[in-house]
Structure 1
Amino acid sequence: MNRHAIDISILGGGLAGGLIALALAARRPDLNLLLIERGERFGGNHVWSFFASDIAPAQTWLVEPLIAARWDGYCVHFPRRSRDLSTPYHSVTGETLDAALRARLPGEALLTGTAIAAATPTSVTLADGRHIACGGVIDARGAGTLPHMAGGWQKFAGQLLRLAAPHGLTRPIVMDARVEQVDGYRFVYCLPFSDRDIFVEDTYYADGPELDLPAMRQRIAAYAQARQWRVEAVTYEETGVLPVIATGDFEAFWHASDPALAPALARAGARAALVHPLTSYSLPIAVRFADRLCTLDNLSGEALGRVSYAWAREHWRQGRFYRMLTRMLFGAAVPSQRFRVLERFYGLPAPLIERFYAGRSTAADALRILAGKPPVPIGAALASLVGGGRPLAPLGERA
């Protein structure tokens, strides 16, 4: 390929990279794009869910065609609180993302089953030795490692269960924390895709990233049995380990991957720490960033690097309050009692909860969240805010 054949190469065909490709294909059809994915299909085996209130009306065009299922609300369950909320809830799957990319981009713009050996702001070297020169490069290959940051992990295993009889749910269960609390804060997440197909995910806010998949499968089976759901088949399975960020040095993080690379390589998604610090939630942030890229006049590698750095730095600045809450959750709460933090949170007004998940909490929201008796020991809470309390898992240790 010559220097002018590709305008932008996007590395990684997951959520962040896929949304950028779809946004540019729709709003900048003049560009020649190349989306490179290591797996055999875009999106992999993943389910991404979001609240309708997370996406600004002007940006729904990007995500609306990807929605695989939608519900008119959701519920949560804790030992001392259950609640139904009316905020619409939607899910996107790897299958719908893959289908949309193949429908909207030409075949020559899509490259799967291809590993990347190296990248610069204007070139990509594939593992098979091929070299691709292009106008700009965006790296959206996932977090990999987050040097100079610390916190914990949200890890999960989910299965799509085909049941012998209807499960009886009409809305998702976003958190069911009435289960045994092991390995940190544990809850079960349920998405009723049809009357007999339900996605059940076993999720933990844990100090370490290790996945005990056999144990998690057993717990999913036990949860289904407790609900008297007779499972005919497991038709799909996914696992994940996501960073939950409590503190860090953003400048050191941004320049750690290759300090000698100037200008810096543009990044997106978790690669740029563009996640909600406490929930690891990324879809609304990925939508906003993809939409922003469509407005740029200059899409050179150098310009993309500057824009992604500025966007990620501002996101980091706006995440201070959520990182403080993460420090309290991991540094002050006894692991088996972490559920009390969320149990209290879900007693707050629904609009506040919506703004929290969207990453748009106001100063009044912050005061309301922190007001009253904290659900963790006061001394431990104060210690966590000044760097004391329990040690936080170093995120950079995960390769």
Structure 2
Amino acid sequence: MHVLVLGAGVIGLTTAYTLAREGHEVTLLDAEPAVARGASAANGGQLSYSYVAPFAGPGVPWKVPGWLMDPDGPLRFRPELDPHQWGWIWQFLRACNAATAAETTARLLRLAYLSRDLTQEVAARGVAEFGFAHAGKLVLQPDAAAMEGAKRQMALQAKLGSEQVALDRDACVALEPSLARIAHRIAGGIHTPGEDAGDCALFCEGLAAWLARSNHKVAIRLGLRARQIIRAEGRIRGVVTDAGVIEADAVVVCLGLGARELLRPLGQKVPIYPLKGYSLTLPVARDDAAPHVSVTDSASKVVYARLGSHLRVAGMADLVGVDPRLHEKRLSTLIRQAREAFPEAGDWDGPLRPWTGMRPYTPTGLPLIGRSPAAPNLYLNTGHGGLGWTLAMGSAAVLAARLAGRAPPIPTDGFDPAAA
């Protein structure tokens, strides 16, 4: 079967890789001149399989006012005259309850554990060199109340297969000595030894290179924008691009934010909205002054991941529409927070490789994976929010199973695009 995959970020590339290995002829299409130019370019670097609890949690609505009033807070909101923005917010608020959050967490954990196994398999096979490290993850808590809440979440996830341990302040510093400078603001932390880290952009480039040199029938066509999906007699016939029509037996849409506009004429609802994030990457100057364990500061919502000889710092969630501009004040906040945490990790006055990107979130946090109701040979694999890097390989396996008409490797309740 000839499958046309739209989007060459981590979701599209893992989909193309998985389908090619199953024997399909694959054409991978992207409007950018290189792979991983969108949300996959410089994300947080953490493969956080046990940290997939949705943003739409039961306590979030009560925290939002405080975040918005804090100029350095993790959330920024710019209201727009956009019905889609307000509709998304309404659906998000409806999902902010304990029952929905627990159900979503269980579903995402199943997908994340599948993805963990498949990502580690790719790393072991040497398909791509991407600075993969079995680093573990430590989530820092600022006070006793936050620590108790984290322990409750840990207990819930333990029933679902997560292996985590609660550490006090001294144990956190013993595990990651570079935290000594900020030990006074740590009440404790949750350590997950099984988490990984890696450079998502390098992973994407490595997969693309592997596909290009493999014996599989794969064509990677970059710099071509998908303009329209052609449907005739109830089936998808192909896609109109800048270079004409590309015909295919099936089409898989892995476009993130771009999926909404492309699928609208076909009647497929795609409840995705961007949450803008920021990152910076700097060379590590002192090995002992930068964390080796992946660290998340739960108070500031900033993550730190060691990527070989560099440190990746990422954070922020700006609900401001599609705005690709690098907001200097937000970036300055991220730099200041990172510098205060790890002042001697690198040259904070030197080149920091700043980046901002649009993460495609659904209101519940569940991605859309499977057949579209718009046509029997149209499929979606999109809406992974900030978890695209973590969930990519598992999502590709689920999608490939759906396309082949076989049972997926895990239960997929909640991922069906028809329910969007």
Provide TM-score, normalisation by structure 1.
Answer: 0.58
User: Is the counterpart of residue 123 in structure 1 residue 238 in structure 2?
Assistant: yes
* Structure 1 residues 263 and 170, CA gap change in structure 2 (3 angstroms): closer
**Residue of 113, 121, 127 corresponding to 1:61:** 121
1:236 alignment counterpart: 353
Deviation at 1:280, TM superposition (A): 4.0
- Map of 1:282-297 to 2, 5 A cutoff? 282-295=388-401
Which amino acid is the alignment partner of residue 281 of structure 1?
L
**Residue of 185, 188, 204 corresponding to 2:302:** 188
Deviation at 1:194, TM superposition (A): 3.9
| Deviation digits for residues 151-172 of structure 1 (CA, Å, limit 9, x no counterpart) | 9864311010125434332211
1:362 alignment counterpart: none
1:314 alignment counterpart: 413
| Deviation digits for residues 79-129 of structure 1 (CA, Å, limit 9, x no counterpart) | 21331512332224212211222222359601111111112323011124x
Distance 2:273 2:226 in 1: 28
1:94 alignment counterpart: 201
Deviation at 1:136, TM superposition (A): 1.3
Distance 1:151 1:112 in 2: 24
* Structure 1 residues 240 and 55, CA gap change in structure 2 (3 angstroms): same
Please say if residues 191 and 199 of structure 1, whose CA atoms lie closer than 8 Å, have aligned partners that are also in contact: yes
Please say if residues 381 and 399 of structure 2, whose CA atoms lie closer than 8 Å, have aligned partners that are also in contact: no
2:293 alignment counterpart: 171
Please say if residues 138 and 189 of structure 2, whose CA atoms lie closer than 8 Å, have aligned partners that are also in contact: yes
Please say if residues 151 and 244 of structure 1, whose CA atoms lie closer than 8 Å, have aligned partners that are also in contact: yes
* Structure 1 residues 268 and 151, CA gap change in structure 2 (3 angstroms): closer
- Map of 1:249-288 to 2, 5 A cutoff? 262-263=375-376, 265-270=378-383, 275=384, 280-288=386-394
SS in structure 2 opposite 1:233?
coil
Distance 1:149 1:7 in 2: 25
User: Is the counterpart of residue 50 in structure 1 residue 163 in structure 2?
Assistant: no
**Residue of 78, 82, 96 corresponding to 2:141:** 78
Distance 1:134 1:76 in 2: 45
Please say if residues 27 and 220 of structure 2, whose CA atoms lie closer than 8 Å, have aligned partners that are also in contact: yes
Distance 2:393 2:225 in 1: 25
| Deviation digits for residues 232-278 of structure 1 (CA, Å, limit 9, x no counterpart) | 63353332233554469x99xx98xxx9x5457321122xxxx3xxx
- Map of 1:2-81 to 2, 5 A cutoff? 7-28=2-23, 31-44=24-37, 45-47=41-43, 48-51=45-48, 54-56=112-114, 59=118, 60-62=120-122, 65-66=127-128, 67-80=130-143, 81=187
Q: Percent identity of the aligned residues?
A: 14
User: Is the counterpart of residue 160 in structure 1 residue 284 in structure 2?
Assistant: no
Distance 2:35 2:142 in 1: 39
| Deviation digits for residues 318-358 of structure 1 (CA, Å, limit 9, x no counterpart) | 9x9xxxxxxxxxxxxxxxxxxxxxxxxxxxxxxxxxxxxxx
* Structure 1 residues 138 and 247, CA gap change in structure 2 (3 angstroms): closer
Give the structure, 1 or 2, with the largest relative contact order (CA under 8 Å, sep 6 or more). 2
1:367 alignment counterpart: none
* Structure 1 residues 139 and 223, CA gap change in structure 2 (3 angstroms): same
Distance 2:228 2:270 in 1: 24
SS in structure 2 opposite 1:173?
strand
SS in structure 2 opposite 1:315?
coil
Distance 2:117 2:195 in 1: 17
SS in structure 1 opposite 2:206?
helix
2:313 alignment counterpart: 200
Please say if residues 188 and 203 of structure 1, whose CA atoms lie closer than 8 Å, have aligned partners that are also in contact: yes
* Structure 1 residues 78 and 84, CA gap change in structure 2 (3 angstroms): closer
Aligned length: 280
Distance 1:69 1:232 in 2: 28
Which amino acid is the alignment partner of residue 109 of structure 1?
A
Distance 1:115 1:150 in 2: 22
SS in structure 1 opposite 2:350?
strand
Which amino acid is the alignment partner of residue 9 of structure 2?
G
* Structure 1 residues 241 and 133, CA gap change in structure 2 (3 angstroms): closer
Deviation at 1:282, TM superposition (A): 3.2
In structure 2, the gaps of 5 or more residues are: 51-111, 144-186, 231-235
Distance 1:100 1:317 in 2: 27
2:65 alignment counterpart: none
SS in structure 2 opposite 1:282?
helix
SS in structure 1 opposite 2:240?
strand
